Chain A
């Protein structure tokens, strides 16, 4: 008997007002490292947010490990877009990482030492242990992104949904982040990440979902990430560079 997929989406349809963003998406994630790729407005973030129940869907259903989200919430980690919060907020890097463990604590009093240590461990994994006490607004963009990564890791989940973990980070940070994600996957967990850079998809990810309002193609990168599928996902909107990647850059 095979284990149920970390994430299985069936007939998911989502609209903002009268504008439908996702049409009848049916997709099963494979364990491992998966990229969700598509042009701007393709509904990539929307897919993650609807699966997590953060926005209402018109129809359809998302199952995690074969169960409803409420039953397995502690097995599902989330990394939202960095731009979605106010980084001037009064909190240290450690405070933010500790937030992921709030469901395991009483709501008042001091953060228990075990939870604090778990959060520090997550900061260590992303190389930010030295900056644990720094206010988050005084971190660089790449460091902020890694704080969010540490917060997701500290959830100690089996599946991580990540909304653009590589957004606006420099090359060194990108390498550091992908190294962390590979370690996570090597430990038997799964990562589904919204990704923007077509050129790095084959190098970074095992599986891909090409999205453009509808699921255009999905599967192992070698099988699904073809020039034809990419062209279909991006329509006429592929720029010169992306065109080159789609046609020749796939080795």
Chain B
């Protein structure tokens, strides 16, 4: 494999995998800490009708209208979930499950009805993404990495992912402490005058934006896996908020890179003919990682000196 081959075929997909998984890993910690991981699942599915509507209205697979449509759908879903919870007095899991599956199903119908299907916004793309189809044909060699004209021809999914990642990382840094308190004790946050509802909304919108930006590249199944697995694995290993949030992002990004490499480039380098679905490999690794973290925690507990708790 030559350098040009790598730049053309692997770099865009690798970048997309790292950004998408790192972004979801970063936000996943907040969902896990709030004991609301199902919401990540819900939002990443509930955005589908909004994406398709954005596509149908503009008639093109452009980033911004689809992102706006997705955010609107996510807002509506969050509102409906809390409404169903209150009015029907269902437990939150049931309310969440009922709303997001309906939204997702509506999205699937819209795909058929709006003709989005003919422009390869089909079920496969929705579920598994199209990591392997992200290519950078304008790359001529390392020099292209510094050539604005060539860089501008990178797949647009990468730009959307990068933009959302930067905004989300900035917001998380800015809201670092309020988010900590919101996750631990939302009532207390409200009682001392922090805008708890607003923070909650900001968090949900960030998750929705991440789900949209990531979904085209890696598919909704992997978005769910990456919102939960890295954060859950880290959760088993640390008692530090900083390590939890930053570690979740780092672990997500590492998983994205490793999973992509194991799916295609590594077998190819070893002279193997087969290649695996990258999203599938990354997701599987995520599950294995949680299992590994559980094992590690047990092992650590077995060797730790018992701590005396008194009073």
Which residue numbers of A lie inside 8 Å of B, CB to CB?
Answer: 17, 49, 52-54, 70, 73-74, 76, 78, 80, 84-86, 89-92, 95-96, 99-100, 102-103, 105, 107-109, 135, 137-140, 142-143, 151, 155, 170, 172-173
Contact = CB atoms under 8 A, between A and B. Distances in A.
Contacts of B310: 140
Contacts of B185: 80, 84-85, 99
B182 to A, nearest CB: 10
B239 interface: yes
19 contacts: A17-B89, A52-B190, A54-B187, A76-B191, A78-B191, A80-B187, A85-B185, A90-B239, A90-B243, A91-B241, A92-B239, A95-B180, A100-B192, A103-B194, A107-B176, A108-B173, A135-B239, A143-B311, A170-B311
Q: Which secondary structure dominates where chain B touches chain A?
A: helix
Contacts of A90: 33, 235, 238-241, 243-244
Nearest to B185: A85
Nearest to A16: B89
A99 B188 contact: yes
A172 B311 CA distance: 8
A91 B190 CA distance: 19
Contacts of B177: 102, 105, 107-108
Contacts of A95: 180, 241
Given A80-B185, A91-B241, A99-B181, 8 more contacts: A17-B89, A70-B193, A73-B193, A89-B184, A90-B243, A103-B194, A107-B175, A108-B174
B309 interface: yes
B24 to A, nearest CB: 19
Interface of B: 33, 35, 89, 173-178, 180-181, 183-185, 187-188, 190-194, 235, 238-241, 243-244, 307, 309-311
A54 B311 contact: no
Contacts of B35: 86
Contacts of A105: 177
- Nearest 5 pairs of A and B residues by beta carbon: A135-B239, A78-B191, A73-B193, A99-B181, A140-B309
Contacts of A172: 311
Nearest to A101: B192
B241 A52 contact: no
Contacts of B239: 90-92, 135, 137
A8 B54 CA distance: 52
A89 B243 CA distance: 13
Contacts of A155: 192
Contacts of B309: 138-140, 143
Nearest to B188: A80
Contacts, number: 87
Nearest to A105: B177
A73 B190 CA distance: 11
B192 A73 contact: yes
A92 B310 CA distance: 17
Contacts of A170: 311
Contacts of A138: 307, 309
A234 B284 CA distance: 58
Given A84-B185, A89-B33, A102 B194 contact: yes
A130 to B, nearest CB: 11
Nearest to B310: A140
Nearest to A135: B239
A80 B180 CA distance: 17
A49 B187 contact: yes
A148 B307 CA distance: 22
B187 A140 contact: no
Nearest to B86: A17
Contacts of B307: 138
A208 B183 CA distance: 34
Contacts of A137: 239
Contacts of B235: 90
A62 B243 CA distance: 41
A95 B184 CA distance: 11
B203 to A, nearest CB: 14
Name the residue among B188, B193, B238 with the largest chain A CB count within 10 angstroms.
Answer: B188
